[in-house]
A = this chain, B = another copy of it.
Amino acid sequence: MKNPKDASQRIITLLTDFGTKSGYTGCVKGVILRINPDVQIVDITHQINPFDIWEACFVLSNSYQYFPKDTIHLVVVDPGVGSPRKAILLRTERYFFLGPDNGVFSYVFDKEKILEIKSITNQKYFIGKPSFTFHARDIFAPVAGYISLGVKIDEFGPDAKDCYKFRIPSPEIYKDKIVGEIIYVDKFGNLITNIDQNLVDSFTKKGSFEIVFKKRRIKKISLSYFEGRRKEILAILGSSGLLEISSFEGSAQKILSGRIGDKVKIEFKR
């Protein structure tokens, strides 16, 4: 593996609900490149549903860990822009994260060792007098640019306390069943649950089981979509390490009218 020769070749990722139509992401990229023209900018997505902080939080949790050390992750889904919500900057062992303090980093708080959290307040690093409506361009983009140049994170503001975290829904575990729920629906219509591989493994090896979703009873966990007949409903351990209700070449979401929050049960039979 190669490492960037110096900080100025760092990577900045973008994850927003800006869409790609109105040029807002162009502004953000321009501001970053004006500060550091050598940085590499990578779009994770700009298609988060407008104002859907939870979706941003989940999509981030499935992507950030694949990037090289020192990558700067900029996450802006920010219905409270212009309100007193803090703008925060996290440093973990491997990455930097910037965004509004509204819960988008809940999974990061859960999974990563946090070394520092700063409240971004130092106007020296902002673009002009920040607007009240576009902090991605006026605050987050320039701060990300300066971090990529090696500016120390104490420069940007004081320690932040009491950051906002979602309660990440965890499955209920009983003697004879697990009750989880759908937490995300992906682009292919796969219904992704909050039941992870370890939990599935620890229970399913004890005996036979059935997965129950919307009156469907699924009797095994498939290794790949390919095991099903076309549009058959499958349970599968997906690429994020979570149990998914899926369908081979079909959309489980459409076939079953599945939604975020729908319950999924694993029932055991000894």
Q: Which residues of A approach B to under 8 Å, CB–CB?
A: 1-4, 8-9, 11, 13, 15, 18-27, 29-31, 33-38, 40-48, 50-51, 59-60, 62-68, 71, 79-83, 131-134, 137-138, 149, 186-188, 223-227, 236, 238-239, 248-249
Contacts and interface: CB of A to CB of B under 8 A. Distances in A.
B223 A34 contact: no
Given A1-B35, A42-B33, A226-B81, A239 B134 contact: yes
A236 B132 CA distance: 9
A66 to B, nearest CB: 3
Contact of A63 (B1, B23, B47): B23
Nearest to A79: B249
Given A2-B38, A33-B42, 12 more contacts: A2-B8, A9-B37, A18-B187, A20-B45, A23-B63, A24-B186, A25-B44, A30-B42, A33-B71, A50-B188, A79-B248, A83-B226
B29 A42 contact: yes
A6 to B, nearest CB: 11
Contacts of A68: 30, 33-34, 37
23 contacts: A1-B34, A2-B37, A3-B37, A19-B47, A21-B187, A22-B45, A22-B59, A22-B186, A24-B187, A26-B43, A27-B63, A30-B63, A34-B67, A37-B40, A37-B68, A50-B187, A50-B249, A66-B137, A81-B226, A82-B223, A132-B223, A132-B224, A133-B225
B239 A133 contact: yes
Nearest to A136: B239
Nearest to A1: B35
Contacts of A43: 20, 25-26
Given A66-B30, A249-B51, A60 B23 contact: yes
